[in-house]
Each structure stands twice: as C-alpha cells, then as structure tokens.
Chains A and B, each alone.
Chain A
Amino acid sequence: MTSSNLTAFLKDCERALGAENVTLVEETIKRYGEHTLPAADRRPGAVVYPGSTAEVQAVVRAANAHRVPIFPVSTGNNMGLGTRAPVAAGQVVVDLGKRMNRIVEIDEVLGYAAVEPGVSFQMMADELVRRGGRYVISTTSGPPQGGMLGNALDKGAGYGPMFDHFGFSCGMEIVLGNGEVIRTGDGSIDHPNAPNWHVSKYSFGPILDGLFTQSNYGIVTRLGIWLMPKPPAVRSFHFAFPDDDDLEAIIDLCRPLKLANFVPTLFRVSNDLYLIGNEDVYPDYAKTGGKTSISDAQRKALQAKHRVGAWTVSGAFYGPSMEAMEPQINRVKQIFLQSGKAKYIPHEEALGNPPLKTAIDSFSGVPTHGELGLLKWRPGGGNSWCPPGTPMVGKIAQKFHKVARAIYEKNGLDYTIMNVCGGRFARGLHVISFNRESEDERRRADLTYKQLADAFAAEGVSVGRSPTDYYEYHMAKLTPSFRNACNAIKNALDPNGIIAPGKYGIG
C-alpha cells in the first residue's frame, strides 16, 4: 500500500461516510495502535467510522479499489488479546462501535435480540432492565463495555447456561471481502421479512456462520443473540481448597455434576492469584524488581487475607426463591465436602467478597468490572491471555497445571489461571501479567506465552483464542492442509485480501 493509495481510499470514505467519520488526528491514531502485549504498538493508517451496513460496504469497496488493508473492530477493549491495534501497522481501523451501536430488535416472546457491532453487554443489560427485566444476557466477567457481537465472533464466553456466545447466536448479516452482502440461515431467503432468521440455525444450505468466527472473510454487521429468561433467584456456592495439587480432585468432582447438568452454570475453578489479583497487587514487586514469581509463603498469606483457597470453585443454581434451592445446595455441599479438604463458602458470605461477587454477577448476567483488577497485579500495564484447555479428567488437568506453573516460575512471572469447566472440557484462562515498561519483563512475558503454546501443542492442545501477536505462532502449529483450506476460502470471499490480512494466521 502506498500513501497515495491510502489518500485515495480515505477520499472515497469521506464521500461515503462524511468527512467527520474519517480521522487522521494524531491522538486518535496513536491510541488505536496501543495494546498490552509484549510487542511494540502498531499504528493504524487511519480510523474510519461507518454508520450502516451500506457504509461498511462502501468502505470495503473502496479498500478493494485502492488495495488498502482494513482492520474492523466492534467495540470494547479486547484486553490481553490485542486491544484495537491492527494485525500490522498501517492497516486502517474500521471502528464499527462508534455509530453502529443500535439494538436492532428485541423479541420478548421468543427471547432474542439482534444487535449491531457497537452494542455492549452493558447497553443490552440496561435495555433489558428498562423493559422490565424479563430477560438477562450471558455476560463475560470482562468489562461491561465489551461488545456482544465481537465477543461471540471471537468465541468468547460467559458462565451461565448460555455461556457459549457463538453457540447461542443465530443469524448474521455480513459484508464479504468482495463487497457483497449476505445473510445467513433463513435470513438468506429472498424476502423482506424472515421470521426464522434469528430463531433457526438449521435452514437450507450449508451453515456459513462459523466461517466468520476468528477469521477475516467478511465484516459482520448484525447478529442475532438469544436471551435467557431471568430466574427469580440465583444462589451461588463456593468451595475453597487449600493445596495446588487439589485440582485433580476438583476436576473429577465437577465433571459428573456438569455431565448431568445438575449444576446449570459452568464451574469457575480459579487459582489463588486469579481471585486475589482482582483486589491486590504483587506485594514484593518493588523489592524483587519483578524478576521472581511470588513466593508460596506470600500466596498463603494472601489466600488468608482474601478468604480464598489455592483453588476456589464457584457455581450457581437458578430457582423460584433462595429457599427453594436449599436441596441442590445441600447435595453439592455433600459432594464437595466428602473430599475432606473443601471449605464451603455460602452465597451470603460470597456476596461480601469482591472476587466471588464477580462470579455471582457473571452467573446472573450482570456485567461487572470486578475482574479488571487483575490487570494491575504488576505495574506497567502488560497483559496477555493464553487460553488452552483440558479434557475434564483430573489427572490430565493436574499435569497441564504443573507444566504451566513451572513455565511461569521459570520466567519469574506469576501463575494466574481460571479453569472454566463444562462436563467434558475446561478452558484454561492463563493470564500473563507483566510490566510493559520493562524490556526484560516484556521478553519474559513473550517467552512465557510461547513456551505455554509449545507445551500445550506438545500435548496436542491448541488455544481457544489468541492475542494478535501470536496468530502466526499458533497457525504454524496446525496442519498445512487446514491453513490451505482457510486461505482458499479467503481467496474466494476476499480475493484482494483487504480484510485484516494475517488475522488468525489467514491471508
């Protein structure tokens, strides 16, 4: 791309979007290039703000005409995964969040909403409250301003029965890389109204929706999202386990409860620092210069201070009243306490413990800031997230845990993880907190990430999402035929390769 290409592209954008929706302002460009990963910031070439599907189409057509790579973002922060910075410096950020932030539709009979990319979890939660609170959303434990559409497309998740945000989405509108607009599912019928668009996933023809997750084939401008009827009461339960090696037993206790769906939420199995980091900072950072991991003695002291275990398990029931859930709570207590090591933390007590309150909010569909404190565990703002996973088999989870902890400690960083457990699989959210203002820590954070990726790949495990900087690293570990297939689809739908080339290692 040359500067004259960029200039011509931006002129086209100004004509289609209005000059006020194209920016080259220094402060803005600089901020869009910032992120929290070990690598340097990546300045975009410009930022444009379309306001409709037609305007997105105009931007894509202009990008094709002038061969300018664009990098679409929805809304929110994508913290630890690349923020809003493009895959490569110079790509033009297409920020859909500023103007395309309408809740297009809420159907309270069928329990779904259709949203544009700029709709945040908080906006939807507010709108559902305004309508009388009949429904709740599945929300992440990340920031309330996170985008619902972007999170679903990046395979983000919540913690309740509708935790799988892509799985509980239905029906898309997409501007393809070649500039065409398609609708998926029944939305593709040649009719102005398609009543099944956001209620049926299985319509005529192939299910294309999955192609637009973690890819760069098109820009999704509308998504149907299913809502959960709000239960009258949510009652959580929590168990603190004292030892790092208790993970094996915990996983084996959780599995049958989820396989039978006796517990309707996922289990949050958090290690000490994942919870403590919400509220506290690495106490010896100044003394050690951040060169060593937190000591076991300090971890024990912080566990006592914050009333959490080496591992803390959280889950919740939904019911007509708090009292009505007493039998389920008693059964779960019976199962966990038989281990002889668990300490039960009841709902009422957990409400007063901020990290556990965050868990309760996330089970209840209430957007929360609580977990953001994790980003301050070390100074300097560095943060990467590495989310591999494990089958729900205690021995395997324990083995992975030991390998990962050793990698963090070898690099002088602090092992921080939450295992989000279903019946068959647990996603391991590994948080790498580091001082981005220290070259040495940036290097160690980068090493930690790559060594984690290598170690899990050696066990046949990839990641559920990836920070921008490691797309290529992960793609290189997949079979060549998979990459070839991805690139073939790219060539078919975005022949000039103008949408986010390099995203998730494609194009």
Chain B
Amino acid sequence: MQTAFTTAQLERPEIADAAAILKDCVHYGFCTAVCPTYVLLRDENDAPRGRIDLIRAMLEKGGAPDAKTVGHLDRCLSCNSCMTTCAAKVDYMHLADIGRAYIERHYRRPLGDRLLRALLARVLTRPNRFRAAVRAARLTRPLARMLPKRLRPLLTLAPSRLPAAQEATRVGTYPAEGTRKLRVALLAGCVQQALAPRINAATIRLLTRHGCEVVVSDTGCCGALPLHMGREDQARALARTAIAAWRDAERGGALDAVVVNASGCGTTVKDYGKIFKHEADIAEMARSIAARALDVTELLSRLALKPPARRIPLAVAYHDACSLQHAQKVVEPPRALLRAAGFRVLDVPERHFCCGSAGTYNMLQPAIAEQLGRRKSAHIEGTGAAVVAAGNLGCMTQIGLYSGLPIAHTVELLDWATGGPLPEALRGVALPAPETENAAVPTAADSNAVW
C-alpha cells in the first residue's frame, strides 16, 4: 500500500514505523475470514485491512481522529488472528498499537468512556487496588441496575470469591529441587496475583520440581493492560519498573529465562525490545529481557516433563489463547506437555477465534465479547471434554462466564500430574481411574477397524 506521509511526519519515529508496516498491506483479504469482528459484523471497516486503511488515513491527516475511526479501532480485539493468516506478513499488532496510542493522545473520548478507561488502567495494574475494587463490586452488585451501563460488565466479571491477600506470590528466590539446571525469573503479574495466586504457586512448584531456581521480583504489571488501551506512557513506565526489577535480580546470578504464565503478558514482555527500541538508556536491557522471555510451556518443553506421578486419562479441551497462538506462535508445547502428562488432549473447533477476553475488551466491548464467549464455550463443550485448559487467566475467566466446565491453567494440570495438588477447578469432579504408564491412550482413529 502506498502512503502519503510528509517528510516532517516521517521524522516522527512512530509514523516512520507505521509507514514501514503499511507498505506491506496489499489488500489480499485473507485476514477478513479469520477476524472475529468481521465475521460477526461483516463490515469491511471492522476487518484488519479496513482498519489498516483507517489508521493510514488517520495518521496521514493528522490532528484529532473522527469518532468513526476510533469506534472501528476500539472494536478490534488485537487477537492477531489476522497476523497468522496474512500472506503479506503485515505487522498489524504494532500498527494497531501505534493507532491506539495516537487516539489516546489526540482524541477526547466522552466522559464516561474516559472515566472507565482511567479506572481500569489504574485498578487492574495494582493487585491491592484490584482487591479493593472487587470487594466494592461485590457490595455494589445488588445495585447493578442503578449503575451506569458501562460499569455493569465490571460487576459481571468480578469474582464472587477472592483469595486472601497473603496467598499472593511472595517476592524471593525459590530453590530448585535437586541439581539446579536453570535460574529463571517468574513474572508474578498483577490481576493474576489477586485473582488466582494458585497459578503462580503451581508454576513455582512445577519449575522447581524440574530443576529451576525461581526468582520472583517486585515487578508489578508488565504494561500489557495499558498498552492494549493505547496508554503508551503508562505501559512504558510499568515496563521500565519490571525491567529494572529483573536487572536487580541478575545481581544474584544471571537469569537463563524470564518465565511468563499469563500469555497476554508474555506477548508484551517478548515485545520489550521493540517497545523500547527508540529509548537508548534501556533499549539493550529491554532487548535482552525480551530475548529470554518464554511462556512457561516453552521452557518446560525444553526441560522435558518428568514422568507423571499419576496418569489420569482426563479429556482436556485445550483452549489456545490468542496471545499464545497468534502473537507468540506457541501452539504445540502446551499440547505436547499435557499429552506427556497422560491427559487426552482435544482440540477446540474454530481454535483460531478469540474467546472475547482480550485484555480489557470484555469490559469495554461487552456485547461483542459476550457473543464470542458464548461461541467459544459452545465449541469447547461440543468436544465432550471433562475439563478446559488454557494458558491465560483472562481467557479462563471469560470462558467461565459461559461454560459450566471446570477450567484450569495448563500449569495446574501439569503440576498435579507430576506430583502437585489437585487443581482447585477439579475439586469434586469425578475423575477417571489412573492408567499405567504404558497404557495406550485411545484415539478416535482407533475406532476405524481397518487399521
């Protein structure tokens, strides 16, 4: 695609970056068929190539964007399904980031929208504030009808039970069991700390069991949530704090990997190199952290899973979080690990499609998110699985709104299989009898007697 930026515009790094991305789009349109909002709304401007045109026009024109453009970009999930299918390899992820940051700087949203976004950015990134907000939401729930419509999705998403604050992951070093093979940092996260500290606990048990010394630093939020909303300055400030924390951690010994167990965060941490490429004081360290960032299943695949302590042939529907499958291209490792642990892994139809969680999307675009959530849950339940596994808490929460199936993080299942406690989601669930190590796992194809 040809662009018409002026020389002065191209001197701005973000415009130069956008121009380089825009030239790759040639309107093939493969993206439309896999874009959830296009499939639901059938509007060219709610498909990636339409949004790419809108971003180009917005940046070329300069000044305040129009409400129509903002609306179409707001409806983008940033699931990056388009990037998986794009033949021209357009870097839509970064173009959307540039577009959102531009809107944040140049567009004055209606008051309610401004307040909601500010609230989310300030609350979700701080576990203590998040806990207080959840308590407030629980108290307010009976009054939901009296609240502004925009706030009601927050009440729906607020959990009815919150783990105690002392369950949050402690900062410190967790020694490896047996010989130390690796020294790794674990991103403890923000929302996850408050909502499901059990995921970090399972991760630490699993990694130490596999010979990793695990370092948890006071990183705070990695910046993913505000970045998703276009709040670039806040995202950078948070990311700087995280990078500084890991730099400090390296004083106690080099880190072999930075492990992330929330895939939305993993995408951002892996992107630190690009996020800070124009900031000389931190660019090198950011690149170095990004190069070592791994989803927890990537690291475990490299280490090879220990033989399971118990092989439970539970039918597990594995849900691919968009940030894992589309942004990080991590598709096989979680499946292979779950299979190695003895589970029957089932693929979910339409697995390339987003569940509607998408960071803060289900709070900001609840109607579309609900359609996607229901669609995903119906596909998951159609597999006949006994449990759902996913690598991202956001997806787990979203699917849980629409599905009655128990949902566990992939690491909880792997931890359980290799000697850890029963995942919380499986308490009270009737489990199949354990198998012996050499028992053949039945596959659908075995039912074909020809073979």
Contacts and interface: CB of A to CB of B under 8 A. Distances in A.
Q: Do A and B make up one complex?
A: yes
B50 interface: yes
A419 interface: no
Nearest to B27: A34
A483 to B, nearest CB: 33
Contact of A130 (B84, B88, B382): B382
Most buried by A among B89, B352, B444, B447: B444
A134 B347 contact: no
Contacts of B288: none
Nearest to B347: A129
Given A120-B33, A379-B23, A437 B2 contact: yes
Interface string A116-130: 000010110011011
Interface string B29-46: 110011000000010110
A225 B443 CA distance: 25
A134 B445 contact: yes
12 contacts: A31-B27, A31-B29, A31-B44, A36-B28, A76-B33, A77-B29, A130-B383, A229-B450, A232-B448, A369-B84, A372-B87, A376-B89
B28 A77 contact: yes
A415 to B, nearest CB: 20
Given A36-B28, A120-B33, A320 B89 contact: no
Contacts of B89: 373, 376
A145 B87 contact: no
B397 interface: no
Contacts of A130: 349, 379, 382-383
A437 B447 CA distance: 54
A133 B89 CA distance: 31
Interface string A100-140: 00000000000000000000101100110110111000000
A375 interface: yes
Contacts of A127: 349
A328 interface: no
A231 interface: yes
B27 A232 contact: no
Interface in B378-403: 379, 382-384
B11 interface: no
A320 B451 CA distance: 5
Interface string B80-98: 0000111111000000000
A375 B28 contact: yes
Contacts of A145: 30, 33-34, 85
A171 interface: no
Given A75-B33, A230-B445, A232-B445, A381 B451 contact: no
Interface string B436-451: 0000000111111011
Interface residues of A, number: 42
A379 B89 CA distance: 11
Contacts of A369: 30, 84-85, 87
Nearest to A320: B451
A144 B84 CA distance: 11
Contacts of B446: 232
Contacts of A120: 33
A228 to B, nearest CB: 11
Nearest to A144: B85
Contacts of B50: 27
Contact of B28 (A126, A129, A144, A381): A381
B342 to A, nearest CB: 19
Given A27-B50, A129-B347, A437-B2, A134 B30 contact: no
Interface string B1-39: 010000000000000000000011011111001100000
B350 interface: yes
Contact of A77 (B2, B30, B447, B451): B30
Contacts of B87: 79, 143, 369, 372-376
Interface string A359-395: 0000000000100111110011100000000000000
B346 to A, nearest CB: 8
A464 B443 CA distance: 39
Contacts of B34: 145
Contact of B44 (A28, A372, A436): A28
Interface string B252-263: 000000000000
Nearest to B33: A145
B263 to A, nearest CB: 20
A127 B351 CA distance: 11
A358 interface: no
B444 A134 contact: yes
A436 B30 CA distance: 18
A374 B351 CA distance: 25
A374 B384 CA distance: 38
Given A130-B382, A145-B30, A231 B85 contact: no
Most buried by A among B26, B44, B45: B26
Nearest to A125: B349
Contacts of B351: 126
A405 B126 CA distance: 63
Interface string A133-159: 110000000011100000000000000
Interface in B342-366: 347, 349-352
B448 A230 contact: yes
A118 to B, nearest CB: 10
Contact of A129 (B26, B49, B349): B349
A143 B81 CA distance: 13
A77 B23 CA distance: 21
A133 B33 contact: no
A245 B23 CA distance: 38
A133 B2 contact: no
A127 B27 CA distance: 29
Given A130-B383, A375-B88, 19 more contacts: A77-B30, A79-B28, A98-B42, A122-B352, A132-B444, A133-B444, A143-B87, A145-B33, A145-B85, A230-B444, A230-B448, A232-B446, A320-B451, A373-B87, A375-B87, A379-B23, A379-B24, A381-B27, A436-B26
A83 interface: yes
Nearest to B50: A27
A168 B83 CA distance: 33
A319 B451 contact: yes
Contacts of B451: 231-232, 319-320
A134 B349 contact: no
A127 B384 CA distance: 13
A234 B86 CA distance: 28
B88 A381 contact: yes
Contacts of A79: 28, 30, 87
A134 B379 CA distance: 18
Interface string B413-451: 000000000000000000000000000000111111011
